[in-house]
Every structure is written in structure tokens, then in C-alpha cells.
Amino acid sequence: MFPDITSFIDELDRRGELARVAEPVSPHLEISAVVDRACKSPGGGPALLFEQPSGASMPVAANLFGSLSRMCLALGVASLDEVAREIEELTTPPMPKGFMDAIRMMPLVNRLRDLMPKTVKDAPCQEVVKPDGGLDELPVLTTWPGDGGPFITLPLVITRDPETGMRNIGLYRMQVYDRRTTGMHWQRHKGGAQHHRVAERLGRRLEVAVALGADPVLTYSATAPMPEGLDELMLAAVLAKRRVEMVQCRTVDLEVPASAQIVLEGYVEPGERRREGPFGDHTGLYSLADDFPVFHLQCITHRKHPVYVTTVVGRPPMEDLYLGLASERIFLPLIRKTLPEIVDMHFPAAGIFHNLVLVSIDKRYPGHARKIMNAFWGLGQLMFSKCIVVVDRDVNVQDEAEVAWIAGTHVDPARDVVITTGPVDDLDAAALFPAFGGKMGIDATRKWPSEGVTREFPERLVMAEGPARKADEIVAKLLQRTTR
Ligand SMILES: Cc1cc2nc3c(=O)[nH]c(=O)nc-3n(C[C@H](O)[C@H](O)[C@H](O)COP(=O)(O)O)c2cc1C
Ligand SMILES: [Mn+2]
């Protein structure tokens, strides 16, 4: 597993998956235009290293996770299903068959210890310490022409709950206002916002540390929808199969990943808000300007030769498609712990992830599809599911056309649509109110008489077995003849 992001970049280079841009390209709108083109080329395009962004003292790396193969490489697996299998095994410990068996299984406890982060004294991310450092040293991108300014788009924001001391790491964009202040765009439903809520109740300042260019597994983990109170570092340790090395910050009482490229240390005051945005977002629309907390920088530390790692969001497909896909696979076995009837789920990037959710279930009782909708609407960040389409287990939800076929033929909107209201994604501009709006569930399963549907429903078309086998043979021969 990669100890830091630069070794990941080097490996991408060796594999021919890194495009180096030697000519000067401006962080103001030009780099993002190149990244957007790369992301929209087949398969996600290459990772990009801008060696000399104009006016900058360090290179800019982007689209590092922007393909299926790079996302897998980042997580150290051959396929995302492999991670899913590992998570499944880890969360399904074998039952001991007796006392001796239980003793033999003791290493499980050690494994738990292996998940705890390790504190180190010397860290690459603190090779240079600059108490007077400013954000003007960083080649922060302005990505879309209507943006309110430059935004740090891939920051790992680290906070502690002021009451419980529980750590959270989340990825929240930061709009650069000047050398020493940025916006802090943690949305109200997120971990960082909860810590800030507690700090405000106590009337206290909340210390914040921000890691830029952390190792690949950690960077992914900050985007993962971990249940509140579960440390993202645990997930990182499970995925990386090693303990995460952390180092104490210089000016705040927080630890940061030792291998990061750059660290911003600072705080957010209670009560302070400032206009943030607009920002060209992953919805393909500008998120409108709104008031958000403010981050005050008090110290920058970094490596001797740091790389500024960033991402560009916009209308899909963009790099976050692959981060989202990783979460889809990694969290499926975990969601199945409470909802074992789920066969598969898919959040197509084209439908803006949780705005269109496709779920297949092993339907066991009347109303089962509705139970799944309600469960999603009540489970962590799945609450953001705006439109949920539930299908039977024999429908492949990874195939969007197949779901469209089934939904188009199996749904009577007067009978099968559930409309409700509740909290919605902060980014949902269509909702009646900010963060509060409508949700829709579509039951596209076969309806049962016990659900009040007694009208005969037709079978799906499938060729007869014998002729199908004969057709296979004939087609195989045809293919042989045409390829010869
Ligand atoms: C590229 C990218 C940018 C993101 N920007 C934000 C953001 O500005 N604000 C936010 O609340 N969530 C943002 N997210 C989503 C959060 O990182 C995600 O919901 C994460 O699970 C939050 O972690 P938490 O539950 O610990 O708060 C972003 C995700 C990605 C991949
Ligand atoms: Mn969290």
C-alpha cells in the first residue's frame, strides 16, 4: 500500500497512467479546463501532473483517482469487489466452536489494536514549519468561471468533538478569501458541522487541522460516509492493512497524517459566518452563495518539496465518480448487516449519486420495497437518497438500461410511487427549502396479490432452452468464419 501520495504518483508514472504537463498552465480556470477534458475522455483519462503551474512554487496533481484501475490501485486491490469481500470477511467473524477455538481466535483482538493510529515524532509533513505562512503559497485552483474565488477541493478536515474528544475527518471544500482565512463548507449533516455545533453551544473556538495530499487510502476514507462517531482512520487502517501514522500539530491540539504534503493548522470561531460560493459543483450546476463558518489559518507546515493535490468537480463524469463507486462497493456489505435482503445497489454518477439510487432486493413479504426506501431514508448519508428505485433480485442494478426497462414496464405510478419529505442534500437546489424537501421511492418489483395486485402480469421474454443452445453453436460458428 502506498505510504504517501508521491509514491502513488510515481507508480502511476511507471504504469504510463500519468500525463505530465510541462508548459505553464494557470491555476485560474486553465488547469481545471484541462482536468475537465481528461475526466470526460473514455475511461476517465490519465492522472495529471502540472509541473509548472504559472505563478506557483509547487506542482499540481489532479485526477489521481479518476479511473477504475487507479481507484483500485489506490486501495491496493485488483477489483472493488475484492475490497467488498475483505470488508465482508472482517465484519463476519467466525463463531468459535469451543473454548480452545476461542483462544485460537484471540488474534482478532490484536487486529483491533492494529487499527489504532500510531503517533510518530518526526513527520515529512512538518519538514518545513511556517507560523507566518499564507495560502498565497499554494496554487489553489479557480475551477469554473462563475466561482466566488479559488477553492481548496481535496482537503482532509480534522476536528474533535469538544465534549467527547471523538475525532472526525471529512472532505469539505475551502474557499480561499485571503492569505489567512478560508470558508469552511461542512454541510449541516456532516461530522465537522456537528463538532462545530457543540463548540458553539459551549461558546468555544474549534481547533481544525487540514491535511492536503494525504496518502491515497486516507484521502478516500475522508470521503467515505462513515457512521457518526466512527473514526475514518479505522477505515483507513482496515483498507491499508496497516496503522496510520499521525503526528501532533505544532499550534493546535490535533494530530495529522504524518505523510501529508501540506498541513493547515487553525480554528473556526463560534458564531462567525461569511458568504461562501458560488461554486461550480458536482451536480453540474453552480451551488449558490450561502453563509458558512470561517477557517482562520495560524500555521502552515509542509514537506520540503510538496505537491498540491486537487480535484475538479463538475457535471459527471468527473474524478469523484470513482470515489463514489468505491464507497458503493465498500459500504454494501456493511449496509447488508442491517438490511440483509439487499442484493445490490448502484448510485449512477449521471444521476448525481444519491439523487438516483437503484436497489435490488430479495423480496420476502408484501410492502418490502417500501421498507427498503424507509430504511435508506433513515440510515446515515443514505437519507439524501432523492429517488430510490427498488427492483427484484433478478434485475442487474449496475445496468442502468435494464433498470429503465423494468421500471418502465413494472410500475404503475398511481400505485407504486411513494412521496415523502425530509432532510435533503444541502446541494439540492430543487428542494422547496434549503436542506428540506421531497423524496420519491418507486417500487419496481413484481407486485403480489398480497399487495392488492391480482391482475395477471406477463412473463419476461426468454428463448426456449434447446433453440437457445443451438443458436449459441450457430453464432459461435458464424463468428469463427468472420474472424478468419
Ligand atoms: C471532491 C469532494 C468534495 C466534497 N465537498 C464537500 C463539501 O464541500 N462539503 C461537505 O459537507 N461535503 C463534501 N463532500 C462530501 C463529504 O466529504 C462526505 O459526505 C463525507 O462522508 C463527510 O464525512 P463526515 O460524515 O465525517 O462529515 C465532498 C466529497 C468529495 C468527494
Ligand atoms: Mn465522519
Q: Is 281 a catalytic residue?
A: yes
Note whether 284 and 271 are within 8 A (CB). no
Q: Using most ligand atoms within 8 A of CB, pick from 186, 223, 313, 381 the residue to mutate for ligand 1.
A: 223
Summary mean pLDDT of the chain:
96
Is the pLDDT score of 41 beyond 90? yes
Q: What residues pair up with 20 in beta bridges, in sequence order? A: 49
Q: Which three cell numbers stand for residue 443?
A: 417500487
pTM: 0.96
323 in contact with ligand 1, CB cutoff 6 A: yes
Rounded Cα distance, 309 and 304, in Å: 15
Please give the C-alpha separations between residue 89 and each of 44, 93, 362, in angstroms, as whole numbers.
Answer: 31, 7, 21
Q: Which atom of ligand 1 is nearest to the CA of 170?
A: 23
173 in contact with ligand 1, CB cutoff 6 A: yes
What pLDDT, on the 0 to 100 scale, is given for residue 24?
97
The alpha carbon of 227 and the centre of ligand 1 are apart by a number of angstroms equal to: 13
Q: What residues pair up with 160 in beta bridges, in sequence order? A: 167
pLDDT tens for each residue of 416-433: 999 999 999 999 999 999
Rounded Cα distance, 208 and 256, in Å: 10
Rounded Cα distance, 321 and 352, in Å: 9
Confidence of residue 109 (pLDDT cuts 50, 70, 90): low
Rounded Cα distance, 182 and 198, in Å: 21
Q: Which three cell numbers stand for residue 99?
A: 473454548
Confidence of residue 108 (pLDDT cuts 50, 70, 90): low
Q: Which three cell numbers stand for residue 315?
A: 457535471
What pLDDT, on the 0 to 100 scale, is given for residue 362?
98
Rounded Cα distance, 30 and 232, in Å: 33
Confidence of residue 91 (pLDDT cuts 50, 70, 90): confident
CA 374 to chain centre: 23
Q: Which three cell numbers stand for residue 220?
A: 478516500
What pLDDT, on the 0 to 100 scale, is given for residue 100?
75
Rounded Cα distance, 350 and 321, in Å: 9
- 439-452 average pLDDT score: 98
What pLDDT, on the 0 to 100 scale, is given for residue 484?
66
Is the pLDDT score of 74 beyond 70? yes
Please give the C-alpha separations between residue 116 and each of 110, 234, 260, 349, in angstroms, as whole numbers.
Answer: 10, 7, 18, 33
Count H helices and E strands in the chain, helices first. 14, 25
pLDDT tens for each residue of 152-189: 999 999 999 999 999 999 999 999 999 999 999 999 99
Note whether 108 and 90 are within 8 A (CB). no
184 in contact with ligand 1, CB cutoff 6 A: no
HSE at residue 266, side-chain half, CA atoms within 13 A, is 27
What pLDDT, on the 0 to 100 scale, is given for residue 95?
74
pLDDT-above-70 percentage for the chain? 98
CA 211 to chain centre: 17
Is the pLDDT score of 363 beyond 80? yes
Is the pLDDT score of 192 beyond 70? yes
pLDDT tens for each residue of 17-40: 999 999 999 999 999 999 999 999
Rounded Cα distance, 22 and 52, in Å: 6
70 in contact with ligand 1, CB cutoff 6 A: no
Amino acid at 192: G
Q: Which three cell numbers stand for residue 108?
A: 482478532
What pLDDT, on the 0 to 100 scale, is given for residue 90?
82
Compute how many other C-beta atoms are within 10 angstroms of the C-beta atom of residue 9.
Answer: 22
Q: Of the listed 281, 320, 416, 426, which one is catalytic?
A: 281
Helices in 317-464 by DSSP H: which ranges? 320-335, 368-377, 400-410, 413-416
Rounded Cα distance, 347 and 324, in Å: 8
Q: Which atom of ligand 1 is nearest to the CA of 228?
A: 25
